[in-house]
Amino acid sequence: MFEYKTELLETSVKWTKDGANEKDLLQLDALLNLRAKEGWELVTHGYMPILTSSRSAFLITFRKTL
């Protein structure tokens, strides 16, 4: 049995337009490593470009065994 946790991680720019930047990659790595230390495992992620904004986001789902 698992417990699930979903988080939204905003990027500083739209990756489809401007490409990934170092700050966003470091922020993503920091979140993944933090959750791993807490016992969470990455299950899935999805990139969500926001058409009306200069930023976008990742929807990230983790799970932990109960």
pTM for this predicted structure: 0.77
Minimal CA–CA distance to 60: which of 27, 20, 36, 28?
28
* pLDDT: which is higher, 27 or 51: 27
Q: Which of 19-23, 55-59, 60-64 has the highest average model confidence (pLDDT)?
A: 60-64
Q: Which long-range contacts (CB under 8 A, 24 or more apart) does 41-45 make?
A: 43/4
Please provide residue 51's backbone torsions phi and psi, each rounded to the nearest 5 degrees.
-65, -30
Would you state the structure tokens that stand for residue 50, as one six-digit string? 């926001």
What per-residue confidence (pLDDT) applies to 12? Answer: 75
pLDDT digits (tens, 9 = 90+) for 11-30: 876 655 556 678 888 999 99
Locate all alpha helices (DSSP H) within 10-62, ordered by sequence.
Answer: 15-18, 22-37
**Tell me, what's the pLDDT at 23?**
85
* Mean of the per-residue pLDDT values of the chain: 86
